[in-house]
Structure 1
Amino acid sequence: MFNFTGAARRPRQVNLSGRKPATTGLAAVAAREERAAREAERKRLSAAKTIQRFWRGRNTFAKIRDVWTQEWDEATTARNKDTLEQMGRFLGFMGYGKKMEYVRWTEEDVTRLQNMVDLTQGWIENNPDQNKRSEFLRVRFAKLLLGAISKGVVTNGELMGSSLRVLSMLATQYPKIVNDDYYAAMSVATLWSDPNSSFFGELVDAVSKPLVLVTGPYLESIYNAFALRYLTTPNLISHLGDKGVCELLRAVDIYKFAVSNTSGLDADSTLWLLAHSIFISSHDSKFSNSNSDSSLSGGIRNYINFIGSLLGSVTTEVSHRIGIDDITMTDDDATSDSGSNSEAETKRSRIRKKGPLPAFIKSQIESLVQQPSISSLMSHIKSTDDNAKTVAGFALTLLLVFPARRTDMRFWLCVAKTSDGVPAVKYIWNSVKRCQLVNMIGREADTAIGVLKYPPTSQALKEFASLEDIQDQWNLVFLFLEMYSFVLVTGDDHEFLQGKGRQLPLDEVKDLSVFLKNLAFAMYWWYEEIIHDTNGTAEQSNSGRPWQLKYFRTVVTDVLKAIYTRDSRRHFLPKDHWLMEKYLSLDGFISAVVEEEEKRQNQSTNGEDSDPEPEEDPEFERIALLLHDPRDRRALNAAKCLKKRTESGLAYLITPRSEILQNLPFMIPFDKRVEIFREFVQKDQTKRRNGHPDPDQWRFTVLSSGPAESRERLSRQHAVVRRDRMFEDAFEAYFGLRDKLKEPIQITFVDKFGAEEAGIDGGGVTKEFLTGVCGKAFSPSADYSDDNNDVEAVAAGSSGYSAKDMFHENAERLLYPNPTILEEVKYHARSSGANVRAELSQILSRYEFAGRILGKCLYEGILVELLFAPFFLLKWSQPNSASAVGVNDLRDLDAEMYRHLMALMDFEGDVESTFNLDFTITTKVAPNKVETRELKPGGSKIPVTNNNRLEYVHLFSKYRLVQEPAPQTRAFLQGLTTIINPAWLKMFNQSELQTLVGGDTVNPVDVEDLRRYTIYGGVYQIGTDGEEHPTIKLFWEVMRELDDEQRGNVLRPQFSIRDAGDDQTRLCSASTCVNLLKLPRYATKKVLKEKLLYSVNSKAGFDLS
């Protein structure tokens, strides 16, 4: 109706029916449902037509098939000689010549197949000539026959034998039928057979003849099918038996199938192919004798690459199913550390459910990591061959797959030699030093960034032939470092400095150290840049290279540290060789390191305190509302956990200076590291003491917290100590404090008469207490059993051992933990009927307390007059490194034993007959009793020979230095690291740690330098005339006459002197809390020297004056 009112607005419509009108939304829903219904109807009609068409076709085919089978049966009964026509009919009704996978076999069809096979066999024998039609039908028949065998249609021996004979004949005539289907059928036939089967001979012929008789372009595809479909047959060797295996070995050329593409195989098939390939090579005379030409041929090179590729593709399967507790060497960095944890765990769980590896596979794979296999690998090459990359790829794969056998494999690689007698490590090194990336990184550290990325940057790729070239060079470097790290541990200093045997010349060691120094620095300093690609995506743990960056960085660091440790001991490199002044600016370095360390600790604290569930994220929650599928919700939760782990896992990316400081501290000058150490301690004291590092201020703060609480807290920090029971009183008073020993303590000394000494502890009494306890704990006195009057000895337990027996000293009077004390404690405890466990606990607790006391000295900056053996100090900074100590460190334990072992290594005669040694060692278990222990399983039955003496020396030194004192060392370090953060100790090498503990004990005291910086007080203050007091002049004359030990007894820097009256009979005294010497105004030099030496040598307390 038209509107004639002139109003533009539409008039309101009122519905009086009481029903709500349909909304637009409901109409749209209804329309959508109608469209869906119409679409469903169309699909239903289309499906009905398809079904009808299929049924009509099958029905028609069935009728035609019945006609053809009847004709074929009649022709066969009439003995029709036209086999070509019969085969055409047979193929027609069995599959219409097409789509033979739809064939359905009946019993009558199997009978017809038997007749057809018999006809075909005679036809082929009598009619070798062929035309295109006969070739077409024979090939089609072969495919039909292969399908019948694969599907299990052929179930009787007679038919199987005749079928295999026909297939063998057809395979030599028409090589194109020998494909995956052919050897898949042979696999089924093999699994159905055994060496006693009636058709076994035909089976072996059908398998082997194509490998022998076929030549030309089909041979490669035949070997590929043989490897991928036949050698993947489970338990193939047991099914073939000895006879079948011999025939197979005669037919197979192992080098031809070593180029097969195995990327499409599943894990189980790959494992069987790997095992059978190893078996064939180990029993193939061609392979075992191929070293006669002393050159790595192309065939052997292909085989090594083939085995390495197979093994690398099933690394996870092997490591989780072989029954060896191997450590998976995967990357822990970036998102790889957090991105696929749940997926990796699910995968590992799925692999474990498969159970252990079959015995045959396990035995064959383990044969790869035996010495004959490793030695054979190197014996195929000459030192002049350029095959190091092939060897490196294979050997590195073994090291990564079997990390638990890493030590054994590195040993075998190190002792192996090329066919012309060059040590393997030198052969690999000769290739490494020619690598382009080694020379490039050796010149500039920052060039490592591009080639360490995966994939490398485009700029880096321009410098190399290909991505594979870069990876091959890295593999070479990686293998060399694995080998060389073992050489450094097992080689002695004399051999190293002379560059003899497996050692490198010193000039090449210098070049290597420069390369490793730059490489290691790059991997710590620019780590965040390296692990991210140009799009900012972090490298995943399943990246294209076989090893992970963080593990590689660990190997590089270990080798670099080993070279540095030897240089710090023998000093064969320039003084400032290890510094990285070009890249590390020391201006503001200390404050930057402290800031980084605080960030690291804050993130660590937040990670420990936070709930494992990820925090709520609005973006995640918004997405969650849109997800209805439970699987999508689970995926979202996994993403939330990933984000949480990523945020907490990237802490090391913000602390490159701290990483350098902990892992490569020698790149920073020692004095700077000492300043950093003291700054760390200062920060820790401030944090623990509520902002009051000064002891008196801290005590005042504690007192202000409340009388009851403050008294209890301060009483725990106070101890009354008898001088004749200093260590035991300290142990009883302070062992329970644990890390609270870091807080200020107060000491009251009691003399031998039971009277308290008159000292006020302003720091000096504590200093005397700590140095006195250290003197008792680390005193290498005789056994307590010979000194029953010593009151310190009776408190450790009924075993009769005390702090006096905890440490021994070597010929140079350097201290190390008593390695046999636990065995002797056990012996005495059993003899006296005491509780063995309790006695051992008592001794180990005292080791732990000794570590805490020494840590307290380091924490407070108190020097103690103790000299430790370098191998023991090395464990402070590298407690978890098995290669931290080596055979050279045995010299610091027992110099005579070291000389004997070196004589064994240098002996040129027959070691076995001359020395009559085996892999055992004797250890002291009681004062007059020793016990023999094996260095390796079955060691008592393994003689030491010229070939294995290096292993013997390595195991011998490892037992003496690491295994025998392990519990004592572990307890001591536990106490030490309770007070001193282990990361702080990692900043120093063994000689630097000794300097921290006891000061510079190498250089003599410079009296004139000390005189210039001495502060004078009282009447000794220098006046305007610049002249010293006469007594001061006498004092310095006496100091010049003292030896260095006597000078050290006098000094406690910063050194100060003030007068103590003019009484000529009074002794010198000191206020140790302020490093002040109180020197009476003696008139003569003789009296001053007499009183000074008497004072410093008396070791008296506060009542001396």
Structure 2
Amino acid sequence: MYPEAPTIAEQFGFGDIASASTLSTSLSVTWQKMKSIGKASWAKSLFEKAGLRRRREDDGENSGIASASQLPDTSKQARHIAAKGVDGVNVSNVASTTHRAASLKLSKSSEPFTLENIKALSCLCGTFLFRWGSDGGKRQSYAMRLLNTLAFYHVEIVEGEGDTAHNVSLVHMLWCVLQDSKNFEEFAKNVDLIHARSSDPYICMLVLFCMTYEHLLIVMDDEEMYEKEYPLPLCQIERIVLSLKRALHEAYWTYANLAPSSESVAFGMFVVEMATRLMRVLYNRCSRQPFCNVTSWIIAELDSNQLIEEVLLGTPRANKLIQSMPYLVPFPDRVKLFQRLIKADKEIHQSESCSVYRIRIHRGAILEDGLRKLNSIRTNLKKRINVVFVNSAGREEVGIDAGGLFKEFWLDLSTLAFDLQYGLFLTTHDQLLYPNPNSASSHFSRESDHLTMFQFVGRILGKALYEGIVVQPKFAHFFLSKLLHSFNQLNELPSLDPEIYKNLMFLKSYEGDVEDLGLTHTVVQDVFGEQKEVEIIPGGGNVPVTNRNKTRYIHLVANYYLNTQIREQCAAFRLGLSDLIDSRWLQMFNEPELQVLISGKSGKIDVDDLKANARYAGGYYALDKRVAWMWQALASFTPSEQAAFLRFTTSCQRAPSLGFASLTPQFCVQKIPIRSDDELLPSSSTCFNTLKLPTYSSYKVLRAKLLTSISSGAGFEMT
């Protein structure tokens, strides 16, 4: 079944537009609406030029069209939420009853859209959507109805007598014409989108294709896109990416200083915006479930160093490019830019003239002391913080904090804050963290306390990113999306609960009478073992799920689990995170990249990389036999043992996202002379990322002693 769009109604925001049986019938309806709001001369001229006129009501009876059906409508609000992910808007205003789009049955010899018809349609509809799309009033709602009609329109092509009909969408037709009319790759490489004219039918076809395809993708599930390859094969989607990225890069890089209000480039900027939106939706899909290699998104000849310098200088073209199409730049270069932006910010907040905060932390009360001390300096968390640990005897531990003690404290603090026993977070089926929807009921004396804790945990993560500390927690994909201010759609649901998603997909394809299943507009929520029924629309317990409204129900259920039930927790977490990290900096990354930025690279470490970026002290040198034994031992360790080694020597158990060349200070192996193997164990100075390695007599002894040290959990004071 073809994917169906969310729509708007009067009472709860659900409903349908007037019945329409064909594309031209729908255009006629739009034409009548347009006449009622001003009879614009430019629109009238377009209609006359295209040869379109209002059809008589009985035209459909002899047109060979299947019985009329109501077309789905996507409102301004629905599109705004789906595209931009604005929290706080009730999804009951964006999902609705939907029906199969009107279809036209044709024989193979029929020509539903000749080239001239496609050109006329594109010029007409492209101009309407451009003129009305930013109007903000009634015209915008008409534009959305028109776009909805176009996006979900398809014809059923019959190959021969008795053959099965198959659907061909308008999106597919537009893409075929775009490729057949010109060499699309060459066109995209040389086109000047900014100065494009609405009178150019090829440009109009391009903008109509971008708008209708993006409109479709918002509500398509993964099975339709990846398995059925509807409306386009995956190889063709990669062609779209490869072509549009170059045209858009040229547009942003060359003409970023032009004023959007300039009449000469207004349409061109509209084309650029629509193509950018399509690319963003495709990129989000590809980030979650790849359909092409990451290199397909990158422009190899783009000078990343120049781009970084221009972003830091605040040049419009660089900032516009990195905000609109960050994926054009390789991930390591975006990490470098992120680090440079933080470094520039630190020059303001951590200069020599700035104060340094000294805090005493009891080893047995890390979370409690951290919460109390750090909340008292909330507005100054960007400044340097020195930590003094107090041991179980109440004495301050020996050591000067040159950064290592703070890292150790922050890692311990983050481990405790994200611990499930505090009730702030739950885990998915694959042990990834997300906010507990029932956190308000977990160990807090006041209902608002849990949001205060989420703000605090957000600051913990923000400070870790700000100081370049990789921390242990790994988050669910849909929660990372919330951190990037995205509005989660149905396709994110498997990352929370694959079983619920599977059930909803069964319901979507169910061909029987859905009402027989006895479903209502409610979901069951587990509140500490107690099953609680929650209405997903007002009075939902009395609203049955039917064939007519099942698509609305599916999207409402997904919205409840992915957005509504954790809205307050996510907002509080983001608020705390934003105290240290500008949200625009994070939006340079997709969800998997953000996870690497947070927790570093998992798995076995690259021993050769660490070796290449190591230095030696106290008399050791690269060719010393004990140094060679140490590298041999490290290479033989399991991934968990290697992680313990990193934690022991650097206080971080994962490798930095940019590799060990970015580790500061540089990893060091220091020589500690001994007379017998039993005299000392290896020790470390996490402040300086230093391993203090005694001069053991053999490889076997060195390996065993090193394993003993890294497995003991001993801290800074160990000798």
Counterpart for residue 65 of structure 1: none
The question of whether the paired residues in 2 share the 8 Å contact of 1:911 and 1:944 is answered with: no
The question of whether the paired residues in 1 share the 8 Å contact of 2:436 and 2:566 is answered with: yes
Paired with 2:142 and 2:398, the residues of 1 have a C-alpha distance of 63
Q: With structure 1 as the length reference, what TM-score do the two structures score?
A: 0.51
Counterpart for residue 497 of structure 1: 226
Paired with 1:807 and 1:479, the residues of 2 have a C-alpha distance of 38
The question of whether the paired residues in 2 share the 8 Å contact of 1:437 and 1:473 is answered with: no
Counterpart for residue 307 of structure 2: 589
Q: 1:557 to 1:291 in 2, by over 3 A?
A: farther
Tell me by how many angstroms 1:573 deviates: 1.4
- Aligned residue runs from structure 1 range 1004-1083, under 5 A: 1004-1022=604-622, 1026=623, 1028-1029=624-625, 1031-1051=626-646, 1052=650, 1053=660, 1054-1062=666-674, 1064-1083=678-697
Tell me by how many angstroms 1:948 deviates: 4.9
Paired with 1:1083 and 1:723, the residues of 2 have a C-alpha distance of 36
SS in 2 for 1:1077: strand
Q: 2:471 aligns with which of 842, 859, 864?
A: 864
SS in 1 for 2:400: coil
- Aligned residue runs from structure 1 range 232-251, under 5 A: none
| 2:546 is the counterpart of 1:959 | no
Q: With structure 2 as the length reference, what TM-score do the two structures score?
A: 0.75
Tell me by how many angstroms 1:968 deviates: 1.0
Paired with 1:291 and 1:990, the residues of 2 have a C-alpha distance of 51
Q: Percent identity?
A: 27
Q: 1:428 to 1:670 in 2, by over 3 A?
A: closer
Paired with 1:476 and 1:872, the residues of 2 have a C-alpha distance of 33
Q: 1:761 aligns with which of 376, 379, 401?
A: 401
Q: Deviations over 1:25-57 (max 9, x none)?
A: xxxxxxxxxxxxxxxxxxxxxxxxxxxxxxxxx
Q: Deviations over 1:76-116 (max 9, x none)?
A: xxxxxxxxxxxxxxxxxxxxxxxxxxxxxxxxxxxxxxxxx
* Matched AA of 2:475: F
The question of whether the paired residues in 2 share the 8 Å contact of 1:780 and 1:808 is answered with: yes
Counterpart for residue 297 of structure 2: 578
Tell me by how many angstroms 1:577 deviates: 1.0
Q: 1:523 to 1:974 in 2, by over 3 A?
A: farther
Q: Deviations over 1:452-474 (max 9, x none)?
A: 43646xxxxxxxxxx16357425
Q: 2:413 aligns with which of 773, 778, 785?
A: 773
Tell me the C-alpha RMSD between the 2 structures. 4.3
The question of whether the paired residues in 1 share the 8 Å contact of 2:178 and 2:206 is answered with: no
| 2:239 is the counterpart of 1:511 | yes
Q: 1:405 to 1:1070 in 2, by over 3 A?
A: farther
Q: Which has the higher helix share?
A: 1
- Aligned residue runs from structure 1 range 317-466, under 5 A: 384-386=111-113, 390=121, 393=125, 396=129, 401=138, 417-418=154-155, 426-435=169-178, 439=182, 442-445=185-188, 447-449=190-192, 452-453=194-195, 455=197
Q: 1:776 to 1:941 in 2, by over 3 A?
A: same
Paired with 2:493 and 2:155, the residues of 1 have a C-alpha distance of 31
Tell me by how many angstroms 1:843 deviates: 1.3
Paired with 1:529 and 1:999, the residues of 2 have a C-alpha distance of 37
Q: Deviations over 1:209-266 (max 9, x none)?
A: xxxxxxxxxxxxxxxxxxxxxxxxxxxxxxxxxxxxxxxxxxxxx99x9999999x88
Q: 2:436 aligns with which of 808, 818, 831?
A: 818
* Matched AA of 1:572: F
SS in 1 for 2:238: helix
Q: 1:503 to 1:1074 in 2, by over 3 A?
A: farther
Paired with 1:842 and 1:740, the residues of 2 have a C-alpha distance of 22
* Matched AA of 2:57: F
Counterpart for residue 290 of structure 1: 60
Q: 1:937 to 1:849 in 2, by over 3 A?
A: same
* Matched AA of 2:483: W
Counterpart for residue 538 of structure 1: 262
* Matched AA of 1:1097: S
| 2:603 is the counterpart of 1:975 | no
Paired with 1:483 and 1:973, the residues of 2 have a C-alpha distance of 28
Q: Deviations over 1:825-884 (max 9, x none)?
A: 5xx87xxxx6xxxx233211221121112111111111222322222223333x0x43xx
- Aligned residue runs from structure 1 range 156-175, under 5 A: none
| 2:492 is the counterpart of 1:886 | no
Paired with 1:873 and 1:262, the residues of 2 have a C-alpha distance of 42
Paired with 1:898 and 1:262, the residues of 2 have a C-alpha distance of 40
| Structure 2 residue ranges without an equivalent (≥5) | 1-24, 41-53, 82-94, 159-164, 651-659, 661-665
Counterpart for residue 136 of structure 1: none
| Structure 1 residue ranges without an equivalent (≥5) | 1-253, 271-283, 305-317, 329-368, 457-466, 597-653, 693-697, 703-712, 782-803
The question of whether the paired residues in 2 share the 8 Å contact of 1:491 and 1:888 is answered with: yes
Tell me by how many angstroms 1:409 deviates: 8.8
The question of whether the paired residues in 2 share the 8 Å contact of 1:432 and 1:476 is answered with: no
Tell me by how many angstroms 1:915 deviates: 3.9
The question of whether the paired residues in 2 share the 8 Å contact of 1:485 and 1:558 is answered with: no
Counterpart for residue 923 of structure 1: 525
* Matched AA of 1:1006: D
Tell me by how many angstroms 1:939 deviates: 4.2
| 2:337 is the counterpart of 1:681 | no
Counterpart for residue 843 of structure 1: 450
Paired with 2:216 and 2:39, the residues of 1 have a C-alpha distance of 36
SS in 1 for 2:384: coil
Paired with 2:145 and 2:455, the residues of 1 have a C-alpha distance of 34
SS in 1 for 2:563: helix
Moved more, 430-439 or 756-765: 430-439
Tell me by how many angstroms 1:889 deviates: 2.3
SS in 2 for 1:435: helix
Q: 1:999 to 1:1065 in 2, by over 3 A?
A: same
Tell me by how many angstroms 1:765 deviates: 0.6
Paired with 1:723 and 1:933, the residues of 2 have a C-alpha distance of 46
The question of whether the paired residues in 2 share the 8 Å contact of 1:1064 and 1:1082 is answered with: no
Q: Deviations over 1:409-462 (max 9, x none)?
A: 98887666546698988223312441379956643546442x543646xxxxxx
Q: 1:814 to 1:925 in 2, by over 3 A?
A: closer
Paired with 1:684 and 1:960, the residues of 2 have a C-alpha distance of 37
* Matched AA of 2:713: K
Counterpart for residue 567 of structure 1: 286
Counterpart for residue 88 of structure 2: none
* Matched AA of 1:815: L
Tell me by how many angstroms 1:558 deviates: 3.3
Q: Deviations over 1:764-817 (max 9, x none)?
A: 111111111111112233xxxxxxxxxxxxxxxxxxxxxx22122223222222
The question of whether the paired residues in 2 share the 8 Å contact of 1:452 and 1:530 is answered with: no
Q: 1:528 to 1:1076 in 2, by over 3 A?
A: closer
| 2:216 is the counterpart of 1:480 | no
Paired with 1:978 and 1:805, the residues of 2 have a C-alpha distance of 23
* Matched AA of 2:514: E
Paired with 1:905 and 1:929, the residues of 2 have a C-alpha distance of 25
Paired with 2:703 and 2:513, the residues of 1 have a C-alpha distance of 61
Q: Which has the higher strand share?
A: 2
Counterpart for residue 558 of structure 1: 277
Q: Deviations over 1:103-144 (max 9, x none)?
A: xxxxxxxxxxxxxxxxxxxxxxxxxxxxxxxxxxxxxxxxxx
Q: 1:974 to 1:1092 in 2, by over 3 A?
A: same
Paired with 2:570 and 2:373, the residues of 1 have a C-alpha distance of 23
Paired with 2:457 and 2:595, the residues of 1 have a C-alpha distance of 16
Paired with 1:967 and 1:557, the residues of 2 have a C-alpha distance of 30
Paired with 2:519 and 2:144, the residues of 1 have a C-alpha distance of 22
Q: 1:988 to 1:285 in 2, by over 3 A?
A: closer
| 2:600 is the counterpart of 1:999 | yes
The question of whether the paired residues in 1 share the 8 Å contact of 2:211 and 2:278 is answered with: no
Between the two structures, name the one with larger relative contact order (CA 8 Å, sep ≥ 6).
Answer: 2
Paired with 2:143 and 2:565, the residues of 1 have a C-alpha distance of 22
| Greater C-alpha radius of gyration | 1
Number of residue pairs the alignment of both structures matches: 626
